Amino acid sequence: MQSSTESPLYACVDVEGKGKGLVAVKDIPKGTRILSEVPIITTPQDEHNKNRLMAIICEQVSALTEDQRQAFLSMHNIYPYETPPEHYLAIIRTNGLPIDEDGIDGGIFLEACRMKHACDNNAQKSWNKNIERHTVHALRDIAKGEEITVFTCASSGAGPPARRLSRQNSVSIARAVSVLDGAIGAGSLAAILASPLRVLRWVDRQVRLYNEHGPDDNGLPRAFLDAAQVAIAHGDLARGRIFAERAVSGWKILGGDDSTQVREHGHLAVNPSKLGLHGLSKEWKTAVDEVPQGLEAGDFEDWLWKRE
């Protein structure tokens, strides 16, 4: 049930050695919404009774059109089964994608579920609560004939998972995120006000680690928003706007203009003074347009991050 474009950007075809997959039928520019799809089957949250769960699934399978039912039954399955209801549940366990809605745990999407995993994925998947659809966006330019891949390894929550990093850098990022969360989380506003430069250093390090593994990692927008909050809290609207712009730009690539993050934080890229933390300190006070001109890229980043 692909509805992202009138002219399809991809075709579902047999991929050698991989079964069915989605392949680009034309060049797809970075940031393009590749598909926007509603589920044909959903599973409820906190339903631990297997028989009840299978009954709920069977009712939905019965309501499918014949084409939908055949497409569902043709999906890959890695679990044993003896009865049709067990078969349905096995297919869902193998292919289901998370859905971030109250009362719903996950669902089956006839096209999105065909996308294969790759550590160097060229697309990003996510559930868009605003339009109640599963969306996929191009993380980079995808060439005609290239298979469209996403990162599907386990992650916390229903949000998009971060790309796989080397073990050493994964630990470094985890530590940086932990310290950062401790500094800017609930009840830690005092830390932001007392040691803003130290907090900014951690975010800077986090961004550098993400960038070592390619542009547009899905952790980057959150990091840029954290940096924006630190800057704006100290009255630095110039840096705050730039950080907010980078966060919003990243979220647009990952989830589109209608994603929850863009809708919640997009205004900060235009008017950073709208952040509730603005002006708690005037230590770094700047106007929005007080941005140095004519700097080389490296020098500009040094200014932006207040590097020594």
d(CA 237, CA 291): 10
d(CA 254, CA 128): 11
Tokens of 128: 């868009």
CB contact at 8 A, 255 and 205: no
Chain centre distance of CA 230: 23
d(CA 141, CA 148): 11
Nearest alpha-carbon partner for 219 in 92, 83, 124, 109: 124
Domain architecture of the chain: domains with CATH: 10-150 (2.170.270.10), 167-304 (no CATH)
**pLDDT one-digit tens code per residue, 151-179:** 875 433 343 344 444 445 555 555 655 65
pLDDT band at 279 (very low <50, low <70, confident <90, very high): confident
CB contact at 8 A, 106 and 157: no
pLDDT mean across residues, the chain? 86
Provide the phi-psi class of 108: left if phi over 0, else alpha when psi is between -120 and 50, else beta. Answer: beta
pTM equals 0.78
Supply the pLDDT for residue 13. 86
Supply the pLDDT for residue 181. 59
Pure H helices in the chain: 50-62, 66-73, 84-95, 167-184, 189-194, 196-211, 220-233, 237-255, 260-265, 297-304
